[in-house]
Structure 1
Amino acid sequence: MTRSTVNDAEIAKFTAMAEEWWDPSGKFKPLHKFNPVRLTYIRDNLLAHFGRDAHGLRPFEGLRVLDVGCGGGLLCEPLTRLGASVTGIDAAERNIAIAEIHAEQAGLDIDYRTTTSEALVAAGESYDVVLNMEVVEHVDDVPLYMKSCADLVAPGGLMFTATLNRTARSWALAVIGAEYILRWLPRGTHDWNKFLTPEEITAQLRRNGLSVTGQTGVVFHPLADEWRMSPDMGVNYMVLAERPKS
């Protein structure tokens, strides 16, 4: 039997919420709040790594970007507007359908596909940038998933990984607080046992030939009602890795 990263229960969970991807007040409201800080991290690192003009209207022209587990396209659309050639993949067919409709309405040309990272590897594809954002905690077979994502990074390319740390604080804040008390997320969105520590993520990246070049925590500031980057990686965090050119 061919190994797969797809967790059918997780796919069903997000399929049930698919209609709300672009509703900033709906079930994906926390992700809409989170989107600006992760876009800033991605944008700033792409500008620096690829030597692009921060003042250009389409600074990422010519870059091939893959968003793994793209959902409704919350990252795909702004990166397309910045000039990147974006492919968004998701194992949930309904998510891709919603993403395609929204992109068409916005007049954006995005290559959306219902497929998996391991299928793209088997097809021999590679990208300048691979986004692995808030997905690894929802997959089966984490080593296979991380290897397939890493294998899709072209020489000299980058991979961004965002996930949740497996700490007492993440249990209190991301599960109990966000799902049961504040009700930011539907109950059962996250399984704390599937969270990964930064050490576990970096070990996976290095094992698959990538060099870790940066990392940051992300924390919520309630008074400002916004997420910000922080040295504190105890709950949410992002890791940047590069595949050497040779």
Structure 2
Amino acid sequence: MQTHQTTVDPGEIAKFEAMAAEWWDPNGKFKPLHMLNPCRLDYITAQIAAEFDRDLSKPKPFSGLRILDIGCGGGLLAEPMARLGADVVGADAAERNIPVAQVHAEQSGLDIDYRHTTAEDMAAAGEQFDVVLNMEVVEHVADPLGYLTACRELLKPGGLQVCSTLNRNPKSYVMAIIGAEHVMRWLPKGTHEWSKFITPDELFDLLRKAGLDPVDRQGFVFNPLTWSWKLSDRDLSVNYVTASVKPA
């Protein structure tokens, strides 16, 4: 891996390297992401379809689009994007995630370009994408503005970034840290640092400072009765997602 200036936090990377082999276990340490994934995909596919005028009812509607999944982990988002016809690059700063993702993609018959690298190094190399998926990463980096600026540089003019993270308030502390890490034990203790969570207004401000135009934000809301997630225009109190575009 190249050594350009980076916003990677080594401590955060170590946490995810320790969990790498469990990415595709729906009942393992990434159970929350497996549960959330259908809701995330609904939002992502709708935003891409709207931005690039694609018909999701057609076979491989994302053909011709180059998509980067930054912080790709084991490929939970990269694989669906490839199935929809996109040319997908999955990048992760945690080296151990990459062979896990590569093996699973090969077993699934998918051609995905997985790389152990960072947003900064890819931007320095001049890589360009129609879409950057930046899901649950920004709360783990050392410099959110520097990281989002690198992501903007990776977008073609008119490109779309979808970025999700966790709100910072007492409810998110109870739900994401006490609930998910200590009570339900969905994640190892210490996976998240509440102080690094970002409010929706703060994220919109960071996106603008990075040179992007925020166009949408919605909440991911967990229903403990149905054990499922849904999108919400109103409730961004814990998990939420944003869409922003790079000016043409």
C-alpha deviation, 1:181, in angstroms: 1.2
Give aligned pairs, total.
245
2:47 maps to what in 1? Answer: 45
Please give the secondary structure, in 2, of the residue aligned with 1:108: coil
Give the TM-score of the pair, scaled to structure 1. Answer: 0.97
C-alpha deviation, 1:42, in angstroms: 0.5
Q: Tell me the distance in 2 between the aligned counterparts of 1:43 and 1:149.
A: 19
1:237 matched to 2:235? no
2:62 maps to what in 1? Answer: 60
C-alpha deviation, 1:206, in angstroms: 0.9
Q: Tell me the distance in 2 between the aligned counterparts of 1:77 and 1:183.
A: 27
RMSD: 1.0
Q: Tell me the distance in 1 between the aligned counterparts of 2:54 and 2:220.
A: 25
After superposition, the C-alpha distances for 1:102-133 in whole angstroms (9 at most, x for unaligned) are: 00111100010000000011001110000110
Structure 2 residue ranges without an equivalent (≥5) = none
Structure 1 residue ranges without an equivalent (≥5) = none
Matches within 5 A, 1:83-232: 83-230=85-232, 231-232=234-235
Moved more, 89-98 or 202-211: 202-211
Please give the secondary structure, in 1, of the residue aligned with 2:34: helix
C-alpha deviation, 1:186, in angstroms: 1.1
Structure 1: which 4+ aligned runs deviate by more than 4 Å? none
Q: Which of 26, 29, 32 is the equivalent residue of 2:28?
A: 26
C-alpha deviation, 1:3, in angstroms: 2.9
Please give the secondary structure, in 2, of the residue aligned with 1:159: strand
Give the TM-score of the pair, scaled to structure 2. Answer: 0.96
Q: Tell me the distance in 2 between the aligned counterparts of 1:127 and 1:3.
A: 21
After superposition, the C-alpha distances for 1:127-170 in whole angstroms (9 at most, x for unaligned) are: 00001100011111112111101111111110011000011100
Q: Tell me the distance in 2 between the aligned counterparts of 1:158 and 1:233.
A: 21
Q: Tell me the distance in 2 between the aligned counterparts of 1:49 and 1:3.
A: 31
The amino acid across from 1:238 in the alignment is V
C-alpha deviation, 1:208, in angstroms: 2.0
C-alpha deviation, 1:79, in angstroms: 0.6
Instruction: Give the conservation status (yes or no) of the 8 Å contact 1:151–1:208.
Output: no
C-alpha deviation, 1:38, in angstroms: 0.6
The amino acid across from 2:193 in the alignment is D
